[in-house]
Amino acid sequence: MKTAIAPSPTGLEQVVACETRLSHVDGEKGQLWLRGLSLEQAVNRLDWQGLIGLLWQDLCPIPTQAEFGLGRAQAFEQLAPFWPHLQNLKAFEALRAGLDLLPGEPQACDLLSASQVLLAGWLRLQSGQSPLRPTPENEAVTDFGRMITGKTPDSSWVQALTCYWISVSDHGLNASTFAARVIASTRSDLRSAVLGALGALKGPLHGGAPGPVLDMLDAIGSPERARPWLEAELAAGQRLMGFGHRIYRVRDPRADVLRQALQAWQNNPTNHNNTRLALARSVESVALEILAAHKPERKLETNVEFYTALLLESLGFEREVFTPLFALGRLVGWAAHVSEQNLYGRLIRPQSRYIGPPAEDAGQGV
Ligand code: ACO
């Protein structure tokens, strides 16, 4: 007897797989809500602590600034023996391995604090310097910047990075969050869910795109080369990084928020002067025109990764750490989703439709 299974659209498109109080993505209107705040309200009203308070309320213990500071100090001690090993890994692998090496059963605050210590320490080691001990009384984003350079960062740098982390903190049931919830649904631990989510985030169709956005801008080089370069890419069957989204059929609202953050940061006379923005704006407009002609039936607009790349580069980060930086923001959302899954969810276990060869004994009556 055949089992009736409704065919699922490829890639689970439009399938509602869980309920959440955390965020809502309206793909038709181009809006993102974080617990009832629009993204624009969230970036205007919240700092790092405020983001934690918003997403973790009723779900995870909300650490104070001092508790986060103690979390960084503890992580620094715990990770100290492992720097010789971690420094030889790529940034993403160092983050993943470092989280796996933490003793005990780390909770959300421990994982978040350790991630900041790990990435800052790894960056120091790459420039031939020793990792810097955290200053526990500092605000978390400020201390992250100080642990990288040894200097207290400018408040506009802190504001821009905080804006980035708020923008990417949560985004409905994206692939990495789904991975985290699947793992949590088996009653596994938070660290395992975060490590699984990291694996999903790494891919270029998800969080791995911003580095390649800069590769693309490097390859194009000047505005007049944009059209032939982009057309050749599409003709070769390549996807243009930083464009298209599974849910948004209009512009990703995070792209605009990050473009504004970039402009605000670049208006500050003390910062790095990034000359890429003008090139990026012309590449973006040509790409949108070409994509509209290439796929008229599928609206392909600018996504979050395009301006992520420009903002993070302008803040002084190398492209290799773009995806780990994304992870540090999204970890806030992953931790909240894991708690939500644990509180209200059931084992996530969909079915597959078997399309392999029939059983050898089929029809032989045995
Ligand atoms: N450039 C060129 N063509 C594209 C692009 C793109 N950026 N995005 C989608 N398409 C095409 C696909 O090739 C496909 O064409 P086909 O029907 O001829 O095969 C069609 O549009 C539909 O694409 P899907 O793969 O069905 O779209 P999906 O919803 O699965 O993909 C995704 C969304 C993965 C983001 C896609 O747009 C993409 O690959 N973009 C480039 C990578 C990128 O920017 N990733 C970051 C995403 S944002 C984030 O996750 C944080």
- pLDDT at residue 364 tops 70: no
Residue whose entry in the numeric block shows the structure tokens 């983050």:
95
More confident position, 249 or 180: 180
Q: How far apart are CA 234 and CA 257, in angstroms?
A: 28
CA distance 168 to 303: 12
pLDDT digit string, tens, across residues 277-327: 889 999 999 999 999 999 999 999 999 999 999 999 999 999 999 999 999
Reference 338, options 230, 168, 197; nearest CA is: 197
Q: Give the pLDDT of residue 366.
A: 46
The Cβ-side half-sphere exposure at 354, using a 13 Å CA radius, reads 7
- Asked if residue 167 lies in contact with residue 184, where contact means CB atoms within 8 angstroms, the answer is no
23-26 and 37-38 strand pairing:
unpaired
SS3 state of residue 30:
coil
Beta strands in the chain (DSSP E): 23-26, 31-34, 37-38
pLDDT of residue 293: 95
Cα of 302 to ligand 1 centre, how many Å? Answer: 11
Q: Is the pLDDT of residue 116 over 70?
A: yes
Count the neighbouring beta carbons within 10 Å of the beta carbon of residue 220.
22
Beta bridge partners of residue 243, listed in sequence order: 302
**What pLDDT, on the 0 to 100 scale, is given for residue 169?**
98
**Which single residue is written with the structure tokens 């600018």?**
302
| Cα dihedral: 257, 258, 262, 267 (round 10) | 10
**Which of 305, 313, 337, 340 is flagged as catalytic?**
305
Closest Cα to atom 50, ligand 1: which residue?
206
Among 4-18, 65-79, 111-125, 239-253, name the one with the lowest average pLDDT. 4-18
Which of left, alpha, beta for 353 (phi over 0: left; psi -120 to 50: alpha)? beta
Q: How far is the CA of 203 from the centre of ligand 1 (A)?
A: 13
Beta-carbon contacts of residue 54 (< 8 Å; ≥ 6 apart): 34, 35, 37, 42, 46
Is 206 annotated in the active site?
A: no
Known catalytic residue at 245 = yes
CA 105, CA 6: separation in Å to the nearest integer? 40
Q: 165 alpha carbon to ligand 1 midpoint, in Å?
A: 23
Residue with tokens 């205007």: 44
The first and second tokens of residue 44, run together, are: 């205007």
- Out of 13, 32, 205, give the residue to mutate to test ligand 1, the one with the largest number of ligand atoms within 8 Å of its CB: 205
**Site of tokens 């993204």:** 39
Q: pLDDT-derived band of residue 3, with 50, 70 and 90 as boundaries?
A: very low
Residue 79 pLDDT level (bands cut at 50, 70, 90): very high
3-state SS of 227-275 is: HHHHHHHHHCCCCCCCECCCCCCCCCHHHHHHHHHHHHHHHCCCCCCCC
In the structure, what pLDDT confidence band is assigned to residue 266 with cuts at 50, 70 and 90? confident
Going by alpha carbons, the residue nearest to atom 28 of ligand 1 is 246
Count CB neighbours of 246 within 10 A. 16
pLDDT band at 1 (very low <50, low <70, confident <90, very high): very low
Structure tokens at 219: 């390859």
Question: How much distance in Å is there from the Cα of 246 to the middle of ligand 1?
Answer: 7
Q: Which domains are present in the chain? A: 48-152+171-203+323-344 (1.10.580.10), 211-314 (1.10.230.10)
Residue with tokens 């006379």: 269
* Best CA proximity match to 199, nearest among 184, 183, 185, 179: 179
Given a cut of 60, whether residue 143 has pLDDT beyond it is: yes
Q: What does each C-alpha distance from 181 to 64, 109, 145, 188, 197 come to in angstroms?
A: 26, 18, 31, 10, 9
Distance CA 17, CA 182 (A): 10
Is residue 363 classed exposed, middle or buried when 0-12, 13-18 and 19+ CB atoms within 10 A define those classes?
exposed
Does position 328 have pLDDT exceeding 60, yes or no?
yes
